[in-house]
Amino acid sequence: MPTTETTLAGHSIIAGAQVAGNGRTMNGFDPRTNSVLEPAYTLIDEDQLAAATAAAEEAFESFSSLDPETHAAFLEKIADNIEAVGTELVERAMAETGLPEARLTGERGRTTGQLRLFAQVVRQGDHRGVRIDPAQPERQPMPRADIRQRKVALGPVAVFGASNFPLAFSTAGGDTASALAAGCPVVFKAHNAHPGTSEIVGQAIAEAVRDCGLHPGVFSLIYGPGTSIGQALVADPAIKAVGFTGSRSGGTALMATAAARPEPIPVYAEMSSINPVFFFDGALKGDLDALAQAYTASVTGSSGQLCTAPGLVFVPAGETGDRFAAAVNRALATAPGQTMLTKGIADSWNSGVAALGSQDGVELVAKGQDGATENAPAPAVFGTSVDTFLSNPVLHEEIFGAASLIIRYASAEELVAAARRLEGQLTATLHLTDEDHATVAPLLPVLERKAGRILANGWPTGVEVGHAMVHGGPFPATSDSRTTSVGTLAIERFLRPVAYQNIPDALLPAPVRESNPWHLNRRIDGTVKRAGEQA
C-alpha cells in the first residue's frame, strides 16, 4: 500500500474542514526531554464546538441508515488510510508519548484490526437485534399484533482520547470504532498530550468520510481544555452518549455533567482499576523466579501505564511468601524505569509511591533502577498484611505507573474476606494448579461481583480484541458494569431497541421488512432463523 504524507496544521477538523480555534494555543511535549513539539494547536471556543455537534446531528439520519456494505467499507477505508500514513504516525506518537516503537506499531495494528473487525460485525448484522412476532389474528381470547423490533443508533457520540493509548483508545480507537459501527457520528475530543498523533489519524478518518461520499459531520476532531470544552461537549443537547478512558476524577466529572442535563445521557467511562492477582500454594511450588519475572514484566510494561496493570498481589504468609518476595526483589533489582507519558503523570506517580511507602505496616519489597530520562522513575513493589490492607483505604488507591503491593494472607477465609472489600475491577487473576481448586472455588463467586474479566495462570496486561472479551467492570473500574469498551460487544453501548407494531411492510426499515433485503439473522417467534432460512 502506498504511503501518504500528512502536514500538521495545528487546527481542529470540524465536519471535514480545518478550523483554527478562537481560543489560546497549546503544544505537545516530548516526555523524554520535556521539549516542546510543533506545531502549536489552536483551541476552539464553545461557538465552534456547537458547529461540530450541529454537523454531527445533521449527519445522523443518513449515516445511521447506511446499508451494511457501504457502512462496512467506510470502516475499512479508515483502516486503510491509517496504514497508508506509514511510519510518520508511529514516529509522532513516539515523540508525544515516549512509548517505544514496537509497542506503538502493535497498537496501530490493533487500531486498524478492530476497525476491520467492526466492519465484519456490520456486514453480519446481528447487532441489529432483529426480533419478529408475526401477527396471530385468530389467537384467543385476543389477537396478537404484528410486532417487529430492531436496534437503532443512539445519535451523535462524544469520545475522549486516552493518555496511555494514543492510537487504540484514541482518535480511531475502540470507542470511536464501535460508535461509528453502530451508526453514530462522532465528535472526538483530542487528548492534549498527543495532539499531532490525533490530527494524523483525524485526517485519515476525514478523508475516509469524503472518499465514501458521506455527510462530513460523521466525524469531527476538536482541541480544547477538558474542563471547559470537554464539559460543554458532554452538555451539548446534540450529544446522546459519551465514551471516555481516563482518571476516576475526570470520568465522574463527565458523569455528573451528563446526569445534570435536561435530557440525561449515558457515559461509558473506564476509569480506575488495581487488578488483583491471587497466588495459591500449588502455583508457588513451581519456578518462583520465572513467576516473579512474569509479574514484574506485567507491572513495568509500558512503564505500568496500563489500565490492567497488576497493582495488588495476594500471596500466602510464611516461608512461601518470603521466597516469592525474594524472587521479586531479584527480578526487579535491575529493571530500569521507562519514560512515562507526561511529566505530570510522572510527578503523580512519585507522589503516589511516596504516600504508599509512608503508610504504617507497609515496607519496600523491591525497587528497580531510575531510567535514562527525567520522567522515568524506578519501578517499586511494596508489601503489607491483609489486616493492614483492610484497615487503610490509601492501600486501595490506584497508582498509575510501575508500582504494586504484595499482600500476605494466612487462610482461604481471610483471602475471601479481603476480596469482598475490594472495589470494582477490570480484572482479577488466579495462579493455581489442580490441587488448589477447592481453595479457589469459594473465591470465584466473589470475584464475579468484583471484576469484568477473571483469568487463570496468566497476567491481566494484554487485552484481546474479539467477540468474547469484556473490558469493563463494576464502579470505579467503569461507570456501567453492563458494558465493555473492547471487543465487538462494545457496539451495544450506542444502540437502543425500537418496536414497530402493525406498520405496513412498505414503510418498515430494511432490517425488519418481510423480504429481509439485508439478509440478516432474525429471531422469529422466539426462534433464531438464519439468513436465507424460511420463517
Question: Residue 381: which of 405, 415, 417, 350 has the closest Cα?
Answer: 405
Question: Residue 473: which of 176, 270, 307 has the closest Cα?
Answer: 270
Question: What is the DSSP pairing of strand 219-222 with strand 131-133?
Answer: unpaired
Residue 296: CB atoms within 10 Å:
25
532 contacts: CB under 8 Å, gap ≥ 6: 519
Rounded to 5°, the CA angle 32-33-38 comes to 100
Question: What is the DSSP pairing of strand 527-529 with strand 522-524?
Answer: antiparallel
Catalytic, out of 58, 96, 199, 307: 307
* Matching residue, cell 507522589: 351
358 contacts: CB under 8 Å, gap ≥ 6: none
Active site residue 101: no
Cis peptide before 476 (omega within 30 of 0): yes
Q: In whole angstroms, give the CA distance from residue 491 to residue 179.
A: 6
Question: Residue 404: which of 451, 450, 368, 440 has the closest Cα?
Answer: 368
Active site residue 184: no
Tell me how long the chain is: 535
The CA-based diameter of the chain, rounded to the nearest angstrom, is: 80
Catalytic, out of 96, 107, 199, 270: 270
Determine the 3-state secondary structure of 155 from DSSP: coil
Q: In whole angstroms, give the CA distance from residue 24 to residue 151.
A: 42
Q: Is 292 left (phi over 0), alpha (psi -120 to 50) or beta?
A: alpha
Determine the 3-state secondary structure of 189 from DSSP: strand
Decide: 378 and 370 in contact? Cβ < 8 Å: yes
Question: Residue 12: which of 202, 234, 176, 144 has the closest Cα?
Answer: 202
Mark out the alpha helices in 65-194 (DSSP H runs): 68-85, 87-97, 101-124, 174-182
Question: What's the count of helices (H) and strands (E) in the chain, helices before strands?
Answer: 15, 21
Q: In whole angstroms, give the CA distance from residue 47 to residue 493.
A: 28
Query: For residue 269, what are the CA distances in angstroms to 141, 337, 484?
Result: 48, 29, 10
* DSSP secondary structure letter of residue 518: T
Please give the positions annotated as active site: 270, 307
